Amino acid sequence: MAGLGAWNLARAALIILLLPRSLEQCGHISLSAPIVRLGDPITASCTISQNCSHLDSESHIVWKLEAELQPGERQQYLPNGTLQSTITLPHLNRSRALLSCCLHWGNSLQILDQAELQAGYPPATPHNLSCLMNLTTNSLTCQWEPGPNTHLSTNFTLKSFKSRGNCQSREDSIPDCVPEDGQSHCSIPRKHLQLYQNMGIWVQAKNALGTSVSPKLCLVPMDVVKLEPPTLWALGPSPEVAPPQPGCLRLRWETWKPSLHIDQKCELRHQPLLGEASWDLVGALPSRTLQYELCGLLPSTAYALQMRCTRWRLPGHWSNWSPSLELTTTQRAPTVRMDTWWRQRQLDPRTVDVQLFWQPVPLEEDSGQIQGYLVSLRPSDKAGADPMLCNTTELNCTFQLPSEAREVILEAYNTAGTSHPTPVVFLESGGPPLGRLHTVARDPHSLWVGWEPPSPQPRGYVIEWGLGPPSPSGSPKTWRMEHNGSIAGTLLQENIRPFQLYEITVTPLYQDTKGPSQHIYAYSQEMAPSHGPELHLRHIGKTWAQLEWVPEAPELGRSPLTHYTIFWTNAQDRSFSTVLNASSHSFVLRGLEPSSLYHVHLMAASQVWATNSTSLTLMTLALEESELHILLGLFGLLVLLICLCGAAQLCCRPRKNPLWPSVPDPAHSSLGSWVPTITTEDTFQLPSLRDSSMPPITKITVLEEEEKKPGPWESNDSSGTCGLPSLVQAYVLQGDPRVPRMQPQPQSGTSDQVLYVQVLGSPTGPRPGHYLRCDSTQPLLGGLTPSPKSYENLWFQTSPLGTPEPLVPNPEDDCIFEPLLDFPLLQGLRVSGVEGLGGF
């Protein structure tokens, strides 16, 4: 911020130098305060003297804050002839800014004077004051946190004084300590200190807006002393001292010379160099002991060690951690179990070639580093015999044994000793074999091998696997021992590569014998078929085509085929397909169109991949001219046959009005033929018709399709009618209906009318019966109305109370009541079950 202010002042000076001489000393800016709190208002005034030759009555002062024009509040002429303009900035939100007073000079704006504005905050209270007595520099160094930035130049001063009490009173003042710019620590030299006397210490911060002080710190310089860390050394071997135990380290240290007269306590920490383990801390070490044996570490492991110290029984600060010392723990004899396996080959009747394999299994977390392996015979009774067979760092060894030898000893060793001897007994094959050995490839880098455990249960299994043929017979194999005899399979994940054939051998181990080895071959991942079978056209017709192909021979490492898919496409790009099993080698495409082009290809698929075969293009045969004529003739005959059948059906069907139901013509039939046969369940006891109070009524209504003129036999007398409509004409005749009469014939054109009649009569009354024929436009039978029962067209209807009611004619009926006429319909009227119907 100070650099920015200097740059602004330099820029202002340069502008003043460039002003015309006539404007020099014309204007001057006065500020209410050169430095204000950030965000507070500030007032400035610019005065132009009367000696300015370019001042006239129309002169106007312009204000600029940096490059932005600012409106002035007021402008006035003072009594002494000077021109003054005042501006107030309500909120100064910049820590530093340049305010300019300007005057128009011709067509340009000339700067008369400039002033730098500063804004910030008062200093915050310093906090976290702490001091350390450094015996190396022999000074008291104090440090603090200055607080947030004030945007102003702030000076810090470390103040202190000597005191014999609790720093409540001052005895001697100590010169102030002023830190360098930008630093928040300061050191008081030893010459101004009393090491065992109290001191009052505080920090003062001051800038243009105020002053603040930190809380006072009262201390004794020697109570805040910080020692230098010691120097660590490895304790070398000594004839008087036994070597360290496995997992132990011996070290010594030297304290800092200026602190030899100070009682100290130290802490030690250690961490393995390899891995990401954290530091382990060892408690306070004896103050006067300068050597130490650290135990409980991992054998044969490199460690980093560090130490720090502080005053003992007196206040003080811990020193920094010393530079790391790297040491390695001593080894311990290996503590491992050996899993062993072997192969034997008879060289001659007296010598056997043995290839022994082993795998060390650690029994503890710190089982010790293994440097080599020893294979030996048991000590021989013969003096001078060398029992050593192998001394190797590998995990296998080949040696020769006498045919009668059945056991060797295997040991692991390092500089600390050997492991517990492991006897290796060469078992004979005499146990039961495994059942149903099988494998499954789980993924390209693993194989699952399973079996059926034999009976009795083995104590374990040995599984060997390696590349199968055509790999060399001497190629290395991987093996593993499973100690759980109840398992029925295991997952092989070591040294498995995809698309390789592996030979897997499983041998059961029993207590004193072993079972025969079982072998199986398997691929870790099978590949797709190298190519699909070639597609051929065997026969072709007009609507079919026979295809054939020769299945490919199985290949090692190739997944067997599971099915075929045939695709064919016609000229309109319509695609068809069908799936065939892997045993198929031919197929007939049916439903093809004659003289059409088709594209066919075959896809062979396995469980892993699918491969397309060669494509085939074929064209079906065209139809011959004679076949085309035959097809056209057959089609024509079929159309003709359909037409004949339709015409015969229309001609043979009885004529029927399709709009109204078929109703018999009463002029050519009798009501007797309409009465249905009375069955047992339809029998109904009719009421007596001899009752004079209940005259029987038969009502038949006529529907006419259109208005008809009355015939010659119809009466035009309206005296006997009851005001019937013009479409309904009533014919009233008197006489005995039992006497046959000749009925006049209706005029032509009315033969399609259906005539209905209403008959009224009393068989016992003295008056003759009455009947009335009426013309009506309503149909007799509705299309959806069911036919009535034989007992439902009666003179009586049942009342709601269950008693018969006579059907009394309504005086307002459409028809009139007159004596019975000789109507042809009534001549054949017959009502069953009615005796003595004299009126009829």
The pLDDT tens digits for 813-830 are 444 444 444 545 544 544
Helix locations, 107-227, DSSP H: none
Strand duo 35-37 + 108-120: pairing: parallel
Asked if the model's pLDDT at residue 12 lies above 60, the reply is no
Instruction: Place 804 in a pLDDT band, splitting at 50, 70 and 90.
Output: very low
pLDDT at 669: 56
CB-CB contact of 787 with 745 (8 Å) = no
Q: Residue 349: exposed, middle, or buried by beta-carbon count in 10 A (0-12, 13-18, 19+)?
A: exposed
Asked if the model's pLDDT at residue 655 lies above 90, the reply is no
With b for 16 or more beta-carbon neighbours within 10 A and e for fewer, the 732-769 pattern comes to bbeeebeeeeeeeebeeeeeebbbbbbbbbbbeeeebb
Closest CA to 99 of 46, 163, 139, 156: 46
In sequence order, what DSSP letters do the residues of 762-828 get, joined into one string? -SSSSSPPEEEEE--BS-SS-SSSPPPPTTTSSSEEE-TTS-EEE-PPPTTSSS---SPP--HHHHT
Provide mean pLDDT across the span 489-494.
92
> 601 or 257: whose pLDDT is higher?
601
Distance CA 581, CA 590 (A): 19
Asked if the model's pLDDT at residue 126 lies above 70, the reply is yes
The HSE-up count of residue 338 (CA atoms within 13 Å, CB side) is 27
Closest CA to 305 of 243, 242, 365, 234: 234
Provide mean pLDDT across the span 319-332.
90
N residues, the chain: 840
Distance CA 701, CA 696 (A): 17
Q: How far is CA 420 from CA 336, 412, 623, 669, in A?
A: 8, 8, 95, 131
Instruction: Place 646 in a pLDDT band, splitting at 50, 70 and 90.
Output: confident
Q: Residue 100: exposed, middle, or buried by beta-carbon count in 10 A (0-12, 13-18, 19+)?
A: buried
Q: Enumerate residues 6+ apart whose C-beta is below 8 A from 2.
A: 153
Instruction: Place 737 in a pLDDT band, splitting at 50, 70 and 90.
Output: very low
Asked if the model's pLDDT at residue 790 lies above 50, the reply is no
Helix, coil or strand: residue 148: coil
- Token digits for 457? 């249960």
Q: How far is CA 818 from CA 175, 590, 669, in A?
A: 158, 86, 25
Provide mean pLDDT across the span 330-343.
88
Q: Encode pLDDT of 500-529 as tens digits.
A: 888 999 999 998 899 999 999 888 777 777
Asked if the model's pLDDT at residue 351 lies above 60, the reply is yes
List the domains of the chain with CATH numbers. Answer: 22-120 (2.60.40.10), 127-225 (2.60.40.10), 227-328 (2.60.40.10), 336-426 (2.60.40.10), 429-523 (2.60.40.10), 535-620 (2.60.40.10)
| Of the candidate ranges 25-29, 170-174, 225-229, 368-372, the one whose mean pLDDT is the lowest | 25-29
| pTM for the structure as a whole | 0.46
The neighbour count for residue 666, using CB atoms within 10 Å, is 23
Distance CA 469, CA 471 (A): 5
Asked if the model's pLDDT at residue 146 lies above 50, the reply is yes
| Of the candidate ranges 259-273, 485-499, 517-531, 589-603, the one whose mean pLDDT is the lowest | 517-531
SS3 string of 70-93? ECCCEEEECCCCCEEEEEEECCCC
Asked if the model's pLDDT at residue 331 lies above 50, the reply is yes
> 328 or 803: whose pLDDT is higher?
328
Asked if the model's pLDDT at residue 672 lies above 60, the reply is no
pLDDT at 215: 92
| Of the candidate ranges 213-222, 464-473, 538-547, 560-569, the one whose mean pLDDT is the lowest | 464-473
Asked if the model's pLDDT at residue 832 lies above 80, the reply is no
Asked if the model's pLDDT at residue 356 lies above 90, the reply is yes
Provide mean pLDDT across the span 722-750.
41
CB-CB contact of 715 with 818 (8 Å) = no
Instruction: Place 783 in a pLDDT band, splitting at 50, 70 and 90.
Output: very low
Distance CA 511, CA 526 (A): 39
pLDDT at 111: 86
CB-CB contact of 66 with 89 (8 Å) = no
| Of the candidate ranges 387-396, 591-600, 615-624, the one whose mean pLDDT is the lowest | 615-624
| Of the candidate ranges 64-68, 81-85, 430-434, 564-568, the one whose mean pLDDT is the lowest | 81-85
- Token digits for 413? 């060793």
pLDDT at 662: 58
In sequence order, what DSSP letters do the residues of 272-307 get, joined into one string? ESSS-PPPEEEEEEPSS--EEEE-SPPTT-EEEEEE
Closest CA to 582 of 600, 557, 604, 614: 604
pLDDT at 622: 83
Distance CA 294, CA 297 (A): 8
With b for 16 or more beta-carbon neighbours within 10 A and e for fewer, the 437-470 pattern comes to bebebeeeeebbbbbebbeeebebbbbbbebbee
Instruction: Place 49 in a pLDDT band, splitting at 50, 70 and 90.
Output: confident
Asked if the model's pLDDT at residue 182 lies above 50, the reply is yes
Backbone angles phi, psi at 672, to 5 degrees: -65, -35
Closest CA to 758 of 772, 747, 748, 769: 772
pLDDT at 193: 87
> 738 or 302: whose pLDDT is higher?
302
pLDDT at 189: 92
> 357 or 667: whose pLDDT is higher?
357
C-alpha dihedral over 813, 816, 817, 820, to 10 degrees?
A: -130
The proportion of the chain whose per-residue pLDDT surpasses 90, expressed as a percent, equals 26
> 529 or 191: whose pLDDT is higher?
191
Instruction: Place 552 in a pLDDT band, splitting at 50, 70 and 90.
Output: confident
Asked if the model's pLDDT at residue 640 lies above 70, the reply is yes
Closest CA to 556 of 585, 529, 584, 519: 529
pLDDT at 396: 92
> 54 or 479: whose pLDDT is higher?
479
Strands in 493-542 per DSSP E: 501-509, 518-523, 535-540
- Cα-based angle 735, 739, 744 (whole degrees, multiple of 5): 80
